[in-house]
Amino acid sequence: MVKSNFSELVALGMNETLQNDEFKSLFGVAYKTAGEECKVCHKDPCECDSSDADDSSSSSSKEDSSAADDKDSDLDSKSAALDVAIEGLLKASAALDSVGFEKSATASLNLASLIAEAKKKQLSDKEKAKKEKEKEKKEKEKAKRDQQMAKDKAAKEKAKEKAEKEKAKAKAEKEKAKAKAEKEKASKK
């Protein structure tokens, strides 16, 4: 009698999860329940080969992941899916433990801990990518500043050279005028 209650409890929990709107939004393309028509061949049971079915679902997932905003929302939805999975495994572990299946409950808890570690890794990878992006941005800004400083320095050097040339030209004109004045002075004597 305990086993039938447990199986009914599991079936009820699975059905609630499958009918949940959040679950449908996360895995709507990835699964099909018994009694649904195939989206490719429109028959129940499906008569098309699995490659046709994979092509139709993979093309929509490629379109969804093409934009950067979709990537962020995809990561958020994956995180939410992991939260739902962990919560479900913890509930299943509690149910298994209450009916006397300690080994199965332990396995469920171990699986929940593995999913939690995967989520931590996913979040740390996301943070690393964000830091790397910020680092690249800073490097680009520094390169831009360095380039501008080099342009400014070249302009200053060019202005300095021009000033030196004008100074030399003025000095040459002054000497020329002095020589001319001396020549005139010598010619008047």
pLDDT of residue 114: 82
In the block, tokens 């040459």 appear at 172
Three-state helix/strand/coil letters over 106-128 = HHHHHHHHHHHHHHHHHHHHHHH
pLDDT of residue 35: 60
pLDDT of residue 75: 62
pLDDT of residue 2: 53
Q: Number of helices and strands (H, E) in the chain?
A: 5, 0
Average pLDDT, 10 consecutive residues per value, the chain (189 residues): 69 80 67 63 65 45 48 66 76 78 81 81 83 91 92 92 93 90 81
Burial of 89 per CB tally in 10 Å (0-12, 13-18, 19+): buried
Read off the tokens for 59: 């093309």
CB 26 within 8 A of CB 80: yes
Measured between alpha carbons, how far is 188 from 168 in angstroms, rounded to an integer?
30
Residue 69 vs residues 65, 75, 135: alpha-carbon distances, Å: 9, 10, 21
Among 32, 27, 28, which Cα is nearest to 50's? 32
